[in-house]
């Protein structure tokens, strides 16, 4: 199995990685500088996906387990047209978040032939656990990120140690807002949304994450948007 480096949450690094994976420069990640009001209006539209980076903690783990238990008790089934994969390795949640962002927005994103398109083709028909195993055995995808980090470090940029942080993705699918988390058994349905209100609706859920962690300040939000 390939070794993975923890993902940085800065959009510049993410954009280099997306391009290596076959996403055209028509799309890019940008920082979301705040989760309310005017800060959200600065983000270009349409927003295709929102990614939240936050510190892994006991309260997250407790909430995750309770949420999962409740969903499984209800007999919830994963929505068929939502692409979700499970995480096995500890350091690949950033890559998973980017894959969730792109995979749930094809064909809006005209994905070019390359590493990610091949992975998505190979992952068709697999369940979330098998998709996760396939990704984490995709040496080329993990190595593509390593190459970016090695070049960055050669230029004198220090890689942030984000091993204890976690990424989750929010996407719009069929009028619903889904949270996609590689550590959760199922996509989490957060209710109604539209392409136009995805950012605002995802920001509300992100605020709930922040409220559950009053002592933590390590929250970062980025969005996948057109490169105007």
Give per-residue pLDDT as tens, 40-53. 999 999 999 999 99
Q: Which residues of 201-215 are buried (b: 16+ CB within 10 A; e: fewer)?
A: bbbebbeebeeebee
Catalytic-residue membership of 166: yes
At residue 216 the predicted structure's pLDDT band, cuts being 50, 70 and 90, is: confident
Task: Tell me how far CA of residue 45 lies from CA of 22, 31, 68, 176, in angstroms.
Answer: 22, 13, 32, 18
Overall average pLDDT of the 142-161 stretch: 70
Residue 2 lies in a domain: no
pLDDT of residue 8: 67
State the catalytic residue, choosing from 93, 100, 172, 206. Answer: 93
Q: Which two tokens stand for residue 67?
A: 């949420």
Catalytic-residue membership of 206: no
Q: Which domain CATH number covers 174?
A: 3.40.532.10
Residue 5 lies in a domain: no
For the chain, the domain total comes to 1
pLDDT of residue 154: 54
| pLDDT for residue 2 is more than 50 | no
Residue 1 lies in a domain: no
| pLDDT for residue 178 is more than 80 | yes
At residue 58 the predicted structure's pLDDT band, cuts being 50, 70 and 90, is: confident
- Comparison of pLDDT for 79 and 226, the residue scoring more: 226
Task: List, in order, residues 6 or more apart from 69 with CB less than 8 Å away.
Answer: none
pLDDT of residue 152: 65
Residue 183 lies in a domain: yes
- In total, the chain counts a number of residues equal to 228
Question: What percentage of the chain has pLDDT greater than the value 90?
Answer: 64
Residue 27 belongs to what H/E stretch?
strand 27-31
Overall average pLDDT of the 207-219 stretch: 85
Determine the Cα–Cα distance for residues 209 and 132; give it in Å rounded to an integer.
24
Task: Tell me how far CA of residue 5 lies from CA of 30, 84, 126, 190, in angstroms.
Answer: 21, 21, 25, 30
Q: Which two tokens stand for residue 27?
A: 């799309």
Determine the Cα–Cα distance for residues 141 and 4; give it in Å rounded to an integer.
10
pLDDT of residue 165: 85
* Span of 44-58, 159-173, 174-188 with lowest mean pLDDT: 159-173
Overall average pLDDT of the 59-71 stretch: 88
Which pTM value belongs to this model? 0.91
Residue 186 lies in a domain: yes
Overall average pLDDT of the 147-173 stretch: 73
At residue 153 the predicted structure's pLDDT band, cuts being 50, 70 and 90, is: low
State the catalytic residue, choosing from 84, 100, 166, 172. Answer: 166
What digits encode the pLDDT tens for the residues 120-139?
A: 999 999 999 999 999 999 99
Residue 3 lies in a domain: no
pLDDT of residue 162: 45
Determine the Cα–Cα distance for residues 104 and 48; give it in Å rounded to an integer.
9
Q: List the domain range (segments joined by +) for residue 104.
A: 11-226
Residue 107 lies in a domain: yes
Q: What dihedral do alpha carbons 148, 153, 158, 164 form, nearest 10°?
A: 40
Q: What dihedral do alpha carbons 62, 64, 68, 69 form, nearest 10°?
A: 10
Q: Are 169 and 101 spatial neighbours (Cβ–Cβ below 8 Å)?
A: yes
Residue 4 lies in a domain: no
Which parts of 155-213 fold into alpha helices (H)? 198-212
Q: Are 40 and 212 spatial neighbours (Cβ–Cβ below 8 Å)?
A: no
The answer to whether the bond into 107 is cis (omega within 30° of 0) is yes
The answer to whether the bond into 46 is cis (omega within 30° of 0) is yes
Average per-residue pLDDT for the chain: 89
Overall average pLDDT of the 203-213 stretch: 92
Overall average pLDDT of the 167-186 stretch: 95
């Amino acid at each position: 199995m390939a070794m993975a480096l923890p993902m940085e949450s800065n959009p510049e690094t993410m954009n280099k990685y997306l391009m290596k994976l076959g996403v055209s420069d028509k799309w890019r990640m940008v920082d979301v500088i705040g989760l309310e009001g005017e800060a959200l209006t600065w983000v270009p539209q349409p927003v295709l996906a929102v990614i939240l980076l936050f510190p892994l903690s006991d309260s997250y783990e407790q909430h995750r387990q309770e949420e999962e238990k409740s969903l499984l008790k209800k007999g919830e089934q994963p929505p068929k047209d939502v692409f979700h994969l499970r995480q096995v390795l500890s350091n690949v949640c950033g890559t998973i978040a980017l894959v969730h962002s792109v995979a749930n927005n094809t064909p809006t994103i005209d994905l070019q032939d390359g590493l990610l398109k091949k992975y998505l083709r190979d992952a068709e028909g697999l369940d979330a656990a098998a998709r996760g195993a396939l990704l984490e055995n995709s040496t080329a995808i993990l190595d593509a990120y390593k190459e970016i980090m090695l070049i960055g470090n050669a230029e004198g940029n220090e890689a942030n140690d984000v091993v204890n942080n976690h990424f989750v993705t929010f996407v719009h699918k069929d009028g619903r807002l889904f949270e996609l988390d590689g550590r959760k058994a199922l996509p989490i349905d957060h209710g109604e949304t539209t392409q136009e209100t995805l950012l605002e609706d995802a920001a509300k859920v992100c605020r709930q994450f922040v409220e559950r962690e009053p002592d933590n300040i390590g929250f970062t939000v980025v969005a996948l948007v057109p490169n105007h």
